[in-house]
Amino acid sequence: MRASEIAKRFMMAEEGVLVLKEGELSPDELEGETVKLGIRVLVSGKDRSRTFDLGALTIIYNSCSKAFASDYLDLTLSLEQLIQKYGSLTELHFLSRCVKEGKVSLTFLESMGSRDFTYLISTLS
């Protein structure tokens, strides 16, 4: 399911978090997608679950690191393994590093969501 389809499903559900089963969103389905920040997704697998901002993960995939986004969706990897590999526990922290490295601008983030979100990312970076 494409990231934009998931975003539409989130808006129609009018829930705070959209729950997906493991495998419903693959990394390639983020390719070329534009999704507003603030869409919270919980991917639930057999042994673990992971919560993330779909907009942030889409930006990371398309502008910063396909590898991080792919690994973040891979529920066979623990958060500890992600920290060891990337030095980041969450997609928001990783996105702040993308901003710090100049791969994503705060202006772009502001256009994709709220000023509060942009302030949070700028504080982290």
59/104 Cα distance (integer angstroms)? 8
Per-residue confidence band for 10, with pLDDT thresholds at 50, 70 and 90: low
Give the tens place of pLDDT for each residue, 19-43. 899 999 999 999 999 988 988 999 9
d(CA 66, CA 41): 18
Whole-model pTM: value is: 0.85
Greater confidence (12 vs 71) lies with 71
Mean pLDDT of the region 100-104: 94
Q: Domain count of the chain?
A: 1
Please, where are the H alpha helices in 39-105? 54-63, 66-73, 79-86, 91-100
H or E element at residue 66: helix 66-73
The residue range of the domain holding 81 is 3-124
Using the predicted structure, report yes or no on whether residue 125 has a pLDDT greater than 80.
no
